[in-house]
Structure 1
Amino acid sequence: MDEHSTAAESINPKHQALIDRLSTRRSATTTSSDTARPVADFLSSFASSKLSIEQSLSESRSRADLDHISSLDLDQSSFDSASSSLLPRKKFSFRNKPQKKEEDPKNVAEISVEPSAIDKISSLSVRDGPGFRNEKDTTLVKDFRQCDVGQGEFTLSDLENCRVYLKGTVRALFFYRIRNCQVFTGPVLGSVLIEDVSDSLFVLASHQIRIHHAKATDFFLRVRSRPIIEDSNRVRFAPYRLTYEGIEDELKESGLGEETGNWANVDDFKWLRAVQSPNWSLIPEEEWLEIADISQCK
């Protein structure tokens, strides 16, 4: 037996043992087609490599060639490592994998049809009860001292190019969608709420005044608390400028007899900076409205 045959015989038992061991593993892991395929591929690749080594061995002519071929012979640990990398392993997964929360179609629909701020203003439901509504190019007068509305609520909505005179005391006033109007009112015992007005003038006396979505409008106020504006711009403020017979007594009885100066202390709820809000300003004294006497308005 020559040197090459002896070397081949010493290599073959090792390869055969590896093949036997991998075959045993293969039989233990062939419980499904998914696990059998990687092992079969490995064995096929290994058989081809073995055949190539044996062919090179038989054709070798020197010890150097044999050493070169022997270097191709991976040791036991290398084969184990290679086979373990090819053998199928159980896929890793989190047992409690968090599921992505699906978007509620109902919520998505609600968001997609959310009306704009202007739409919300336009769709404001006007309060029921006494008031002036849907008037244009006219003068409107109400004396609460001569009707059942006194001490109640009064609503003005959808007025355009009107002059409005309200005498006597009322508990609350509500304004909606007022355009190019002039409004003069006596004392309000509670609050005044103004929504969506433009290019108008208001002369009001009240304990609380809140103004939403107003633009290019002047307000002449006597108010116990600081007036509040929101989503408004180009609004201006000055002191109350109204008189009629008996108004001084009504102002005193309503707790509005004294000028507080709060007409100049406006709170802009949408302006959070320390500097003056650009949305409102004070009317220069030379531009103040002359005191309006509406005693004869009927």
Structure 2
Amino acid sequence: MEGEADRSDASADASALRKKHLAMLERLSNRHQSRPDKPDPPPASSSSSSFESTSSFLSLFGESRRSIESRLAQCRLADPSLLKLHFDEISASIADLEKLVAESSYYLPSYEVRSSLKTISDLKQALDTLSSELIPKKKFSFKNKPARKEPTAPSLKGADAENCDSMPAAKGGSLAVAVPDSPGFRNRANEVLAKDVRGLEVGEFTLSDLESCEVRLIGCARALFVHRLRNCRVYAGPVTGSVLIEEAENCVFLLASHQIRIHNAKASDFYLRVRSRPIIEDCSGVRFAPYRLHYRGIERDLEDAGLGEEAGNWSKVDDFKWLRAAQSPNWSVLPEDERIETVDISDLSA
């Protein structure tokens, strides 16, 4: 009975922390939308507010980290039949923490961002190691694997293409952080996937496990999450918050956002308009150029998102895994003669 009570208390603590995460993310999103369009630095009078925001972030981040570490330790004492549930909950908490850092990075000092990302990386590694130790007989995944389908199986069409909600499993034995359960396109191949995101109630959109697809997103979203794309082209309207990209190979992205973080991308091109420096980690062969997307009404959407002016940050990339003063060899500016022409997606079905 005492063990059940402890598990109940831990679950309640995790739920409370996730609610704090979501509340803070909502405040940060509202702050993004209320900021002026000009990319000039804030006046000196705002330094107190910035300090308070950083203090609040560090307090919540520390509390969340300690909770995750405590739950990792408790897994060794958990009922084996409940281990997967515990791992799911911890994975979701790590994903929330990573999202919190991304949403907060525009006002945090760079060393705080680096330290927070290192902590998240350590938590992922600890969870990976623990899951391999406690569940050694089969590959661990955070979500139930969908039934295996033959490559020739028919794909979803119409409304199902816009609301496909199956969750991907870990690939190649690696540990995958839970993909956000938001509207999006998942587990698709060789298709044109189009969506007007202006009517999304939650404001978030997810692209996950796509191969050889062309994605067209019109309108403003609050956040865009990209997981495991290969040989894809993604044309997206402005994002008022953050774009988080995890695993992309041989892809082309046209993105406009306040903050863009790219992890584990290879041989991909990024055409960006961004209010802060793009962040890359564990990337190779990625190239950058200015945003080249058009659809009817995009100018107004860019203004509404605070992205009406080109700040030139697309070429000021921060490689968080390259600490030397010399230019990182993992990214480069895309030569002008190799850049694509402006892409027009006004007709979503074209």
Q: Same fold (TM over 0.5)?
A: yes
- Partners of 2:188 and 2:196 in 1: how far apart? 18
Provide closer, same or farther for how the CA distance between residues 120 and 188 of structure 1 changes in structure 2, counting only shifts above 3 A: farther
Q: Is the 8 A contact 1:171 1:189 kept in 2?
A: yes
Among 128, 143, 157, which residue is 2:181 paired with?
A: 128
State the partner residue of 2:235.
184
Name the structure where helix makes up a greater proportion of residues: 2
1:221-232 superposed matches below 5 A: 221-232=272-283
Provide closer, same or farther for how the CA distance between residues 244 and 279 of structure 1 changes in structure 2, counting only shifts above 3 A: same
> 1:240 and 2:285 equivalent?
no
SS at match of 1:263: helix
> 1:140 and 2:193 equivalent?
yes
Provide closer, same or farther for how the CA distance between residues 253 and 110 of structure 1 changes in structure 2, counting only shifts above 3 A: closer
Question: What does the per-residue CA deviation read over 1:164-183, in whole Å, with 9 as the maximum and x for residues that have no partner?
Answer: 00000000000000000000
- Partners of 1:204 and 1:120 in 2: how far apart? 30
- Partners of 2:214 and 2:264 in 1: how far apart? 21
Q: Is the 8 A contact 1:241 1:290 kept in 2?
A: yes
- Partners of 1:151 and 1:286 in 2: how far apart? 40
- Partners of 1:278 and 1:163 in 2: how far apart? 28
State the partner residue of 1:153.
204
Give the drift of 1:127. 1.0
- Partners of 1:273 and 1:129 in 2: how far apart? 38
Give the drift of 1:123. 2.4
Question: What does the per-residue CA deviation read over 1:57-112, in whole Å, with 9 as the maximum and x for residues that have no partner?
Answer: xxxxxxxxxxxxxxxxxxxxxxxxxxxxxxxxxxxxxxxxxxxxxxxxx79x8498
TM-score after normalising by structure 2: 0.51
Provide closer, same or farther for how the CA distance between residues 272 and 290 of structure 1 changes in structure 2, counting only shifts above 3 A: same
> 1:297 and 2:348 equivalent?
yes
Among 316, 319, 325, which residue is 1:274 paired with?
A: 325
In structure 2, stretches of 5+ residues that fail to align are 1-75, 77-125, 140-169
Question: What does the per-residue CA deviation read over 1:178-230, in whole Å, with 9 as the maximum and x for residues that have no partner?
Answer: 00000000010000000011000000000000000000000000000000000
State the partner residue of 1:50.
none
State the partner residue of 2:309.
258
Report the residue type matching 1:180 in the other structure.
N
State the partner residue of 1:285.
336
SS at match of 1:203: strand
SS at match of 1:126: coil
* % identity of equivalent residues: 60
State the partner residue of 1:194.
245
Name the structure where strand makes up a greater proportion of residues: 1
Provide closer, same or farther for how the CA distance between residues 209 and 112 of structure 1 changes in structure 2, counting only shifts above 3 A: same
- Partners of 2:213 and 2:196 in 1: how far apart? 17
Aligned residue pair count = 190
Question: What does the per-residue CA deviation read over 1:143-165, in whole Å, with 9 as the maximum and x for residues that have no partner?
Answer: 123x3x16610001000000000
State the partner residue of 2:38.
none
Runs of 4+ aligned residues of structure 1 deviating over 3 Å after TM superposition are 109-115, 117-122
Q: Is the 8 A contact 1:198 1:214 kept in 2?
A: yes
- Partners of 1:281 and 1:251 in 2: how far apart? 26
Report the residue type matching 1:134 in the other structure.
N
Q: Is the 8 A contact 2:182 2:202 kept in 1?
A: no
Q: Is the 8 A contact 1:243 1:293 kept in 2?
A: yes
In structure 1, stretches of 5+ residues that fail to align are 1-105
Higher relative contact order (CA 8 A, sep 6+): 2
TM-score after normalising by structure 1: 0.60
- Partners of 1:128 and 1:151 in 2: how far apart? 11
Report the residue type matching 1:130 in the other structure.
P
RMSD in angstroms over aligned alpha carbons? 2.5
1:32-43 superposed matches below 5 A: none
Q: Is the 8 A contact 1:121 1:196 kept in 2?
A: no
Q: Is the 8 A contact 1:214 1:233 kept in 2?
A: yes
Question: What does the per-residue CA deviation read over 1:225-246, in whole Å, with 9 as the maximum and x for residues that have no partner?
Answer: 0000000000000000000000
Q: Is the 8 A contact 1:245 1:295 kept in 2?
A: yes
